[in-house]
Protein backbone atom coordinates (compact mmCIF):
# COMPACT_ATOMS: atom_id res chain seq x y z
CA UNK A 1 0.00 0.00 0.00
CA UNK A 2 1.51 3.36 -0.99
CA UNK A 3 1.08 6.81 0.49
CA UNK A 4 -1.59 7.86 -2.01
CA UNK A 5 -3.65 4.72 -1.20
CA UNK A 6 -3.62 5.73 2.46
CA UNK A 7 -4.57 9.33 1.68
CA UNK A 8 -7.40 8.17 -0.60
CA UNK A 9 -8.81 6.02 2.16
CA UNK A 10 -8.63 8.88 4.66
CA UNK A 11 -10.58 11.09 2.25
CA UNK A 12 -13.16 8.44 1.45
CA UNK A 13 -13.84 7.53 5.08
CA UNK A 14 -13.23 10.99 6.59
CA UNK A 15 -11.22 9.19 9.20
CA UNK A 16 -7.65 8.65 10.28
CA UNK A 17 -8.52 6.05 12.89
CA UNK A 18 -6.47 2.95 13.56
CA UNK A 19 -8.06 0.27 15.72
CA UNK A 20 -5.52 -1.51 17.88
CA UNK A 21 -6.14 -5.24 18.14
CA UNK A 22 -4.56 -5.81 21.56
CA UNK A 23 -6.78 -8.80 22.13
CA UNK A 24 -6.54 -10.17 25.66
CA UNK A 25 -8.44 -13.38 26.34
CA UNK A 26 -9.06 -12.23 29.93
CA UNK A 27 -10.96 -9.18 28.69
CA UNK A 28 -13.08 -10.54 25.86
CA UNK A 29 -16.73 -11.53 26.37
CA UNK A 30 -17.30 -14.85 28.16
CA UNK A 31 -19.54 -16.26 25.43
CA UNK A 32 -16.60 -16.27 22.97
CA UNK A 33 -14.47 -18.54 25.14
CA UNK A 34 -16.26 -21.66 23.87
CA UNK A 35 -15.20 -20.86 20.27
CA UNK A 36 -12.34 -22.81 18.73
CA UNK A 37 -10.21 -19.67 18.44
CA UNK A 38 -11.72 -17.04 20.75
CA UNK A 39 -9.07 -14.43 19.90
CA UNK A 40 -9.80 -14.69 16.18
CA UNK A 41 -13.57 -14.79 16.76
CA UNK A 42 -13.30 -11.58 18.77
CA UNK A 43 -11.06 -9.88 16.19
CA UNK A 44 -13.33 -10.86 13.31
CA UNK A 45 -16.33 -9.29 15.00
CA UNK A 46 -14.39 -6.14 15.92
CA UNK A 47 -13.00 -5.83 12.38
CA UNK A 48 -16.42 -6.21 10.76
CA UNK A 49 -17.97 -3.73 13.19
CA UNK A 50 -15.31 -1.01 12.85
CA UNK A 51 -13.98 -1.37 9.27
CA UNK A 52 -16.11 1.43 7.92
CA UNK A 53 -14.79 3.91 10.49
CA UNK A 54 -11.13 2.84 10.47
CA UNK A 55 -8.39 3.17 7.88
CA UNK A 56 -5.97 0.88 9.70
CA UNK A 57 -5.85 -2.09 12.05
CA UNK A 58 -2.92 -2.61 14.34
CA UNK A 59 -2.50 -6.03 15.95
CA UNK A 60 0.11 -5.90 18.70
CA UNK A 61 2.26 -9.03 18.56
CA UNK A 62 2.69 -9.36 22.34
CA UNK A 63 -0.99 -10.18 22.76
CA UNK A 64 -0.62 -13.12 20.34
CA UNK A 65 2.82 -14.38 21.39
CA UNK A 66 1.53 -14.82 24.91
CA UNK A 67 -0.32 -17.88 23.52
CA UNK A 68 2.74 -19.15 21.66
CA UNK A 69 2.32 -20.79 18.25
CA UNK A 70 -1.47 -20.84 18.73
CA UNK A 71 -1.40 -17.09 19.19
CA UNK A 72 0.62 -16.67 16.02
CA UNK A 73 -2.00 -18.70 14.21
CA UNK A 74 -4.70 -16.31 15.48
CA UNK A 75 -2.54 -13.41 14.28
CA UNK A 76 -2.13 -14.94 10.81
CA UNK A 77 -5.85 -15.60 10.55
CA UNK A 78 -6.61 -12.04 11.66
CA UNK A 79 -4.38 -10.41 9.05
CA UNK A 80 -5.58 -12.80 6.32
CA UNK A 81 -9.16 -11.94 7.21
CA UNK A 82 -8.54 -8.19 6.95
CA UNK A 83 -6.60 -8.55 3.69
CA UNK A 84 -9.29 -10.69 2.06
CA UNK A 85 -12.34 -8.76 3.19
CA UNK A 86 -11.00 -5.20 3.47
CA UNK A 87 -7.98 -5.01 1.13
CA UNK A 88 -7.98 -1.20 1.26
CA UNK A 89 -7.25 -1.15 5.00
CA UNK A 90 -3.68 -0.56 6.17
CA UNK A 91 -2.38 -3.33 8.45
CA UNK A 92 0.29 -2.41 10.96
CA UNK A 93 2.13 -5.14 12.84
CA UNK A 94 2.95 -3.44 16.12
CA UNK A 95 6.02 -5.52 16.82
CA UNK A 96 8.77 -3.05 17.85
CA UNK A 97 11.42 -5.24 16.20
CA UNK A 98 15.02 -4.37 15.28
CA UNK A 99 18.26 -6.37 15.30
CA UNK A 100 21.50 -6.76 13.33
CA UNK A 101 21.01 -6.73 9.54
CA UNK A 102 20.93 -10.46 8.98
CA UNK A 103 18.27 -10.82 11.69
CA UNK A 104 16.18 -7.79 10.71
CA UNK A 105 16.07 -9.23 7.17
CA UNK A 106 14.32 -12.27 8.63
CA UNK A 107 11.92 -10.12 10.64
CA UNK A 108 11.10 -8.19 7.46
CA UNK A 109 10.24 -11.40 5.62
CA UNK A 110 8.27 -12.64 8.65
CA UNK A 111 6.06 -9.57 8.79
CA UNK A 112 5.83 -8.51 5.14
CA UNK A 113 5.84 -11.87 3.35
CA UNK A 114 4.66 -14.52 5.81
CA UNK A 115 2.19 -12.34 7.74
CA UNK A 116 1.41 -9.94 4.85
CA UNK A 117 1.30 -6.82 7.03
CA UNK A 118 1.72 -3.46 5.26
CA UNK A 119 3.84 -1.92 7.99
CA UNK A 120 5.85 -2.80 11.06
CA UNK A 121 6.89 -0.70 14.04
CA UNK A 122 10.69 -0.73 14.46
CA UNK A 123 12.86 0.28 17.43
CA UNK A 124 15.78 2.57 16.43
CA UNK A 125 18.38 1.78 19.11
CA UNK A 126 20.53 -0.49 16.90
CA UNK A 127 20.77 2.03 14.05
CA UNK A 128 20.93 1.88 10.28
CA UNK A 129 21.46 -1.81 9.54
CA UNK A 130 18.69 -2.78 11.95
CA UNK A 131 16.18 -0.66 10.00
CA UNK A 132 17.31 -0.87 6.35
CA UNK A 133 16.30 -4.52 5.75
CA UNK A 134 12.67 -3.47 6.31
CA UNK A 135 12.93 -0.80 3.58
CA UNK A 136 13.55 -3.10 0.62
CA UNK A 137 9.93 -4.14 0.03
CA UNK A 138 7.61 -2.38 -2.43
CA UNK A 139 4.63 -0.67 -0.80
CA UNK A 140 5.67 -1.76 2.69
CA UNK A 141 6.43 0.63 5.52
CA UNK A 142 8.68 1.11 8.51
CA UNK A 143 7.09 2.97 11.41
CA UNK A 144 10.05 4.04 13.50
CA UNK A 145 9.75 4.73 17.21
CA UNK A 146 10.48 8.39 17.80
CA UNK A 147 8.71 9.70 20.92
CA UNK A 148 6.60 7.06 22.62
CA UNK A 149 3.49 7.60 24.72
CA UNK A 150 4.64 5.91 27.92
CA UNK A 151 6.20 7.13 31.16
CA UNK A 152 9.58 5.60 30.24
CA UNK A 153 9.82 7.83 27.16
CA UNK A 154 11.41 10.33 29.58
CA UNK A 155 14.35 8.04 30.42
CA UNK A 156 16.29 8.19 27.15
CA UNK A 157 14.22 9.81 24.39
CA UNK A 158 14.65 13.28 25.96
CA UNK A 159 18.38 12.97 26.58
CA UNK A 160 20.15 15.88 24.98
CA UNK A 161 22.87 15.13 22.42
CA UNK A 162 24.12 17.40 19.62
CA UNK A 163 21.97 20.15 21.14
CA UNK A 164 18.78 18.19 20.55
CA UNK A 165 16.85 15.37 22.16
CA UNK A 166 17.58 11.76 21.30
CA UNK A 167 14.22 11.37 19.57
CA UNK A 168 15.08 14.30 17.29
CA UNK A 169 18.46 12.74 16.56
CA UNK A 170 16.60 9.55 15.60
CA UNK A 171 14.26 11.43 13.25
CA UNK A 172 17.03 13.42 11.58
CA UNK A 173 19.32 10.41 11.11
CA UNK A 174 16.46 8.31 9.75
CA UNK A 175 15.89 10.88 6.97
CA UNK A 176 19.12 9.54 5.47
CA UNK A 177 17.55 6.08 5.28
CA UNK A 178 14.11 6.69 3.78
CA UNK A 179 11.64 9.40 2.86
CA UNK A 180 7.95 9.93 3.64
CA UNK A 181 6.96 7.32 1.03
CA UNK A 182 8.56 4.50 3.06
CA UNK A 183 8.81 5.63 6.66
CA UNK A 184 6.41 6.89 9.31
CA UNK A 185 7.07 7.69 12.98
CA UNK A 186 5.49 6.75 16.27
CA UNK A 187 4.73 9.87 18.29
CA UNK A 188 2.65 9.46 21.43
CA UNK A 189 -0.53 11.49 21.84
CA UNK A 190 0.63 12.25 25.36
CA UNK A 191 3.18 14.76 23.95
CA UNK A 192 1.09 17.14 21.79
CA UNK A 193 3.53 20.06 21.76
CA UNK A 194 6.46 17.90 20.74
CA UNK A 195 4.17 16.54 18.03
CA UNK A 196 4.09 20.08 16.63
CA UNK A 197 7.90 20.26 16.62
CA UNK A 198 8.12 16.88 14.91
CA UNK A 199 5.57 17.99 12.33
CA UNK A 200 7.83 20.96 11.48
CA UNK A 201 10.83 18.63 11.11
CA UNK A 202 8.89 16.15 8.97
CA UNK A 203 6.18 18.11 7.13
CA UNK A 204 5.30 15.28 4.73
CA UNK A 205 5.57 12.18 6.93
CA UNK A 206 2.73 10.22 8.36
CA UNK A 207 2.81 9.97 12.15
CA UNK A 208 1.29 7.01 13.97
CA UNK A 209 -0.13 8.39 17.20
CA UNK A 210 -0.98 5.98 20.00
CA UNK A 211 -2.09 7.04 23.44
CA UNK A 212 -5.52 8.53 22.72
CA UNK A 213 -8.05 7.12 25.17
CA UNK A 214 -6.81 4.76 27.90
CA UNK A 215 -3.39 6.45 27.99
CA UNK A 216 -4.85 9.96 28.32
CA UNK A 217 -4.03 11.60 24.97
CA UNK A 218 -6.42 14.17 23.49
CA UNK A 219 -7.55 13.99 19.85
CA UNK A 220 -8.14 17.74 19.44
CA UNK A 221 -4.61 18.58 20.58
CA UNK A 222 -3.15 15.86 18.36
CA UNK A 223 -5.02 17.26 15.33
CA UNK A 224 -4.03 20.84 16.15
CA UNK A 225 -0.33 20.04 16.27
CA UNK A 226 -0.09 17.09 13.92
CA UNK A 227 -2.27 17.56 10.82
CA UNK A 228 -0.61 18.34 7.48
CA UNK A 229 -2.00 18.88 3.97
CA UNK A 230 -2.55 15.13 3.45
CA UNK A 231 -3.81 14.63 7.02
CA UNK A 232 -0.51 12.96 7.88
CA UNK A 233 -1.87 11.31 11.01
CA UNK A 234 -2.96 7.81 11.90
CA UNK A 235 -4.40 7.90 15.40
CA UNK A 236 -4.69 4.63 17.25
CA UNK A 237 -7.20 3.62 19.87
CA UNK A 238 -7.15 0.11 21.29
CA UNK A 239 -8.73 -0.48 24.67
CA UNK A 240 -11.24 2.39 24.36
CA UNK A 241 -12.82 0.72 21.33
CA UNK A 242 -12.33 -3.03 21.60
CA UNK A 243 -13.27 -3.27 25.28
CA UNK A 244 -16.14 -0.76 25.23
CA UNK A 245 -18.27 -3.68 26.42
CA UNK A 246 -17.40 -7.20 27.46
CA UNK A 247 -20.91 -8.50 26.93
CA UNK A 248 -22.75 -9.81 23.87
CA UNK A 249 -23.05 -6.26 22.51
CA UNK A 250 -19.25 -5.83 22.38
CA UNK A 251 -19.03 -5.41 18.58
CA UNK A 252 -21.91 -2.95 18.47
CA UNK A 253 -20.38 -0.92 21.31
CA UNK A 254 -16.96 -1.01 19.61
CA UNK A 255 -18.58 0.34 16.44
CA UNK A 256 -20.19 3.15 18.43
CA UNK A 257 -16.86 4.16 19.99
CA UNK A 258 -15.10 3.98 16.61
CA UNK A 259 -17.86 6.06 15.03
CA UNK A 260 -17.53 8.68 17.78
CA UNK A 261 -13.82 9.06 17.05
CA UNK A 262 -14.44 9.04 13.29
CA UNK A 263 -16.94 11.90 13.67
CA UNK A 264 -14.44 13.93 15.68
CA UNK A 265 -11.84 13.20 13.00
CA UNK A 266 -14.22 14.23 10.20
CA UNK A 267 -14.76 17.55 11.94
CA UNK A 268 -11.04 18.39 12.10
CA UNK A 269 -10.20 17.21 8.56
> Quick check: 149 binds a second copy (CB under 8 A)?
yes
> Quick check: 175 binds a second copy (CB under 8 A)?
no
Span 2-31, contacts to a second copy by CB under 8 A: 22, 24
SS3 content of the chain, % helix, strand, coil (to 5): 45, 20, 35
Q: What is the DSSP letter of 234?
A: E
**Interface map 198-217 toward a second copy (x if CB under 8 A):** -----------------x--
> Quick check: 173 binds a second copy (CB under 8 A)?
yes
**Interface map 54-93 toward a second copy (x if CB under 8 A):** ------x-xx-xxxxxxxxx-xx-----------------
Beta carbon nearer to a second copy, 15 or 104:
104
* Phi/psi-derived region of residue 231, left when phi > 0, alpha when psi is between -120 and 50, beta in every other case: left
Q: Contact with a second copy (CB under 8 A): which of 11, 12, 156, 266?
A: 156
Backbone angles phi, psi at 226, to 5 degrees: -110, -20
Catalytic residue among 14, 96, 116, 260: 96
CB contact at 8 A, 264 and 42: no
Question: Beta 160-161 vs 183-187: how paired, if at all?
Answer: unpaired
* Phi/psi-derived region of residue 96, left when phi > 0, alpha when psi is between -120 and 50, beta in every other case: left
Beta carbon nearer to a second copy, 24 or 256:
24
CA angle 109, 73, 93 (to 5 degrees): 45
96 is catalytic: yes
Nearest to 32 by CA among 45, 19, 20: 45
> Cβ of residue 10: shortest distance to a second copy, in angstroms?
26
Query: Catalytic positions, please?
Result: 96
Q: What residues line the site for a second copy (CB under 8 A)?
A: 22, 24, 60, 62-63, 65-73, 75-76, 94, 96-104, 106-107, 109-111, 114-115, 123-131, 145, 148-157, 159-162, 166, 169-170, 173, 215
Amino acid sequence: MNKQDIINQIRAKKSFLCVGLDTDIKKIPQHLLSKKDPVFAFNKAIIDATAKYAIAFKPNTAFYEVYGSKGWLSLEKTINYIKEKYPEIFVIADAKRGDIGNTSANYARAFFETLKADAITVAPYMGVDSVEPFLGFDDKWVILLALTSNKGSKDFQYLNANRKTLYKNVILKSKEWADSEKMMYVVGATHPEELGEIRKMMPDSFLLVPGVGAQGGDLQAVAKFGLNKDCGLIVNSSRGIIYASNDKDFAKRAAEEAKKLQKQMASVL
